[in-house]
Structure 1
Amino acid sequence: MTTLSAALLCAIAYFICFGGNWLVGQNMADQPIVVGPFVGLLLGDLQTGLILGASLQALFIGAINVGGAVSLNPSFGTTLAVAFSILSGGGEQFALALAVPLGLLGGLLEIGINILCAAFGPVWDKAAEEGNDKKIIGLHFGVWLLKYILFSIVIFIAIFAGAAPVTNFVNNLPDFITDGLGVVAGLLPAVGFAMLLKMVWSGKLALFYLLGFLAVAYLELPLIAVAALGVIVAFAQAMIDKDILDIKNQTNSSTTENNEFNEEEDFLS
């Protein structure tokens, strides 16, 4: 596969995943676990795409952009990291180390493009004042197309111009740097989960976190088994909560009926 073809396919993959995520509501198609395998499939290495997509999902799992505040762009970093890793023959540690700075670069790019798209705000306001529904719909899809085409062009240029230099760079890396990247690759997913825990941590969750830690560290259960146990515990807790809610509803209903009955007796007496 030529560099031109690879760059074009990656740009298409990024447009479908990142742009498609916002076309019909946020469907999470821009997450690394989706982007990685899709890019790997188009580049002819699905296995690498699956492995890197899952690893990068663990890394970026705590990265959440709220409103206009963009910290980084996981899909941007994933697309380029997976593409460069496959095209250059670099390993998982290379892709993980590369994804973070590329994700930050993608975040800065997204802020810039959002500012550019915000220039269409007055046009939207005018169309709304005129009650021109067709113009509003056209602006909506037109600005959407503009935004994600600009992103895809950047992806195309980055891979087309950067694949060869990245390949030469990887091939000339000394062993101590490669070994260091391997250590970093092992630490970065832990950082991603730590970011997620920081946002959702509470005393009620501490017990389940400790249970999972003991299951992995001491019982040596595989992660799939721990995930299955988590689903069972969550389902059991949901059933308990449902029973409690039903009891509360029945109690409230009985109280309401008694109050109505007492009011009726008072009226008749």
Structure 2
Amino acid sequence: MELAGDIMIAALAGGVIGLDRTAAGQFMVSQPIVAGPLTGLILGDVMAGLLIGALLELIWVMDVPVGTFVPANQTVAAVAATAIAVIGSGGSAPLSAIGFVLLLTVAMSPLTMIVETAMRKGNARLGTSLFASSGRPAAAALSRAHLAGLALFFAKSFLLCLVLVPAGLLALEAFERLPAVFHEAMMLFVKLLPLLGVASIARKLSIRIFDRFLVGGFLLAAVLGLAFAVSPAVIILLAVAAGWMGVRFHG
């Protein structure tokens, strides 16, 4: 019962946080760097959520749902990955488990994109049918349609988490039985993943000169890491902050 309760809590968190993505608010709570730690806080391991969210943010910071482009739902990925790592590890996720669930987000992404595309088409049909049926709908009808859209967006993220978290827990359980070399590989994967994120940002921005925010953030992270033995999670967080500022203020 406790396992089922934790899965349900994670799914509810995913549904609520997912509303901020495009449907309501857009206060950036749905960004992985926030959604991951929030989920970790709810389930009892903030650091795992921070690490997962920071790494996913670094990789997906440039993927914005603008126009017809439908990116992977990084909110669902961050919430589900954090929940899988924390629940599957009994409350304190080791680095190997974090690496494995980050790898699982690769499998999650196509499913979230398919569901996201279907949801957008459904919302478009909802608006079209509303105007077609009554010509000029009343304010009450428009309000009902808007609230129905919010409910559908909540249900989308909720159901995705409700499916992905149990499936991920089964995959994590199978991973735990693998030899130690696989666990060591996942730990190395986590340590190297920030480099992939930086490369992704650089490629998408087509950086031709050193970005002062990006370089400054990584220099600060390196100095803190060498001089004061700062936690790797803090260094990764600084790297993500530098990349985020570079994206927002570039050019």
Name the TM-score, length of structure 2 as normaliser.
0.75
Please tell me whether the aligned partners of residues 100 and 172 of structure 2 are also in contact (alpha carbons under 8 angstroms).
Answer: no
* Residues 79 and 213 (structure 1), Cα distance of their counterparts in 2 relative to 1, 3 Å cut: closer
Q: How many residues align?
A: 228
Unaligned runs of 5+ in 2: none
Please tell me whether the aligned partners of residues 18 and 30 of structure 1 are also in contact (alpha carbons under 8 angstroms).
Answer: yes
* Residues 67 and 148 (structure 1), Cα distance of their counterparts in 2 relative to 1, 3 Å cut: farther
Please tell me whether the aligned partners of residues 63 and 192 of structure 1 are also in contact (alpha carbons under 8 angstroms).
Answer: no
CA deviation digits over 1:165-217, x for unaligned, max 9? Answer: 23421221222222222232233322223222233344455566556666666
CA deviation digits over 1:7-31, x for unaligned, max 9? Answer: 1101111111111343444221111
* Residues 125 and 10 (structure 1), Cα distance of their counterparts in 2 relative to 1, 3 Å cut: same
* Residues 127 and 203 (structure 1), Cα distance of their counterparts in 2 relative to 1, 3 Å cut: farther
- Of 185, 188, 191, 1:186 maps to 191
- Of 100, 111, 114, 1:94 maps to 100
* Residues 75 and 195 (structure 1), Cα distance of their counterparts in 2 relative to 1, 3 Å cut: same
Report the counterpart of residue 49 of structure 2 in structure 1. Answer: 49
Please tell me whether the aligned partners of residues 77 and 101 of structure 1 are also in contact (alpha carbons under 8 angstroms).
Answer: no
5 Å-filtered alignment, 1:62-73, equals 62-73=62-73
CA deviation digits over 1:26-60, x for unaligned, max 9? Answer: 22111111111121122122232233222332232
| Bigger helix fraction | 1
5 Å-filtered alignment, 1:98-137, equals 98-126=104-132, 129-137=135-143
- Of 155, 158, 161, 1:155 maps to 161
- Structure possessing the higher radius of gyration over alpha carbons: 1
CA deviation digits over 1:125-148, x for unaligned, max 9? Answer: 337841522211211121221232
Unaligned runs of 5+ in 1: 238-269
Question: RMSD over aligned Cα, in angstroms?
Answer: 3.2
Higher relative contact order (CA 8 A, sep 6+): 2
Report the counterpart of residue 27 of structure 2 in structure 1. Answer: 27
SS at match of 1:173: coil
* Residues 21 and 164 (structure 1), Cα distance of their counterparts in 2 relative to 1, 3 Å cut: closer
5 Å-filtered alignment, 1:170-209, equals 170-203=175-208, 205-206=210-211, 209=214
CA distance, structure 2, for counterparts of residue 208 and residue 17 of structure 1: 28
1:58 aligns with 2:58: yes
Farther off after superposition, 59-68 or 82-91: 59-68
Residue 65 of structure 1, CA deviation: 2.8
Report the counterpart of residue 150 of structure 2 in structure 1. Answer: 144
Percent identity of the aligned residues? 23
Please tell me whether the aligned partners of residues 48 and 86 of structure 1 are also in contact (alpha carbons under 8 angstroms).
Answer: yes
Please tell me whether the aligned partners of residues 59 and 190 of structure 1 are also in contact (alpha carbons under 8 angstroms).
Answer: no
- Of 152, 171, 176, 1:166 maps to 171
* Residues 100 and 126 (structure 1), Cα distance of their counterparts in 2 relative to 1, 3 Å cut: same
